[in-house]
Amino acid sequence: MPPIVLQTLRPSSVVKLGGSLLDLPDLVARLNKLSHSWGPQPLLVVGGGEAADLVRAWDQRFQIGEQQSHWLALDSLDLTARLLTTLWPRSWVSRIGQIEECWLRNQYPIISPREWFELAAVSGAPSPPQTWDTTTDTIAAWVAGLTQARELCLLKSIENSQSLEEATEKGSVDANFLQWISTPVRWVNLRTGHAG
């Protein structure tokens, strides 16, 4: 995955939708209200929510191991991404080569994180560790850095802390997040609409 290829994408923002927000009955209305603030070329990452929790339960029950569980968890992100496209047809699960076409159609591309990790493995590019300490918060931060996005927007179910360091300590973002963030962060509690 040559970085220069990804840097030509230049999303206006990488938007991470927390999987816990997928239970909001008015999720689409909230996203429509907020989406104007993402710029003309947002790139979305959808969290795993209950689907990822199921993989965690499997790992505990069957002792699958973190690396194998990580790949299963990445597969669960495709499920939640497809749920979002079902609810919100303006979004579309896009392979890397389809992202710009998606923008041209005035749609919001959702990445398939497995593809990004597979390409990183083939090219030898750095990628976040394949452990339970890597969630879609870190994946979104990594993607924002690779593509040189102007902003990372975290859509969460909770208010922001005083700092990202404090958010990490509280578990509001995962333990690897600070090592991968290189982009300005905007935090939005989508349940209340409050930006911090």
pLDDT of res. 145: 94
- Which of these, 139, 156, 145, 147, lies nearest to 193 by C-alpha position? 156
Packed helices 113-123 and 136-147: angle between N→C axes, nearest 10 degrees: 60
Structural domains of the chain in order of their starting residue, each with its CATH number: 3-20+41-195 (3.40.1160.10)
Q: 11 burial class (0-12, 13-18, 19+ CB within 10 angstroms)?
A: buried
Phi first, then psi, for residue 133 (nearest 5°) are -80, -5
Task: Please list the residues that pair with 110 across neighbouring strands.
Answer: 44, 93
pLDDT of res. 4: 41
pLDDT of res. 127: 95
pLDDT tens string 2-18: 444 565 789 999 999 99
In this predicted structure, the answer to whether residue 34 has a pLDDT above a threshold of 80 is: yes
- Which of these, 57, 88, 78, 60, lies nearest to 136 by C-alpha position? 78
In this predicted structure, the answer to whether residue 183 has a pLDDT above a threshold of 80 is: yes
pTM score, whole prediction: 0.94
pLDDT tens string 51-100: 999 999 999 999 999 889 999 999 999 999 999 999 999 999 999 999 99
Give long-range contacts, CB 8 A cutoff, 24+ apart: 125-128: 125/1, 125/3, 128/176, 128/179, 128/180
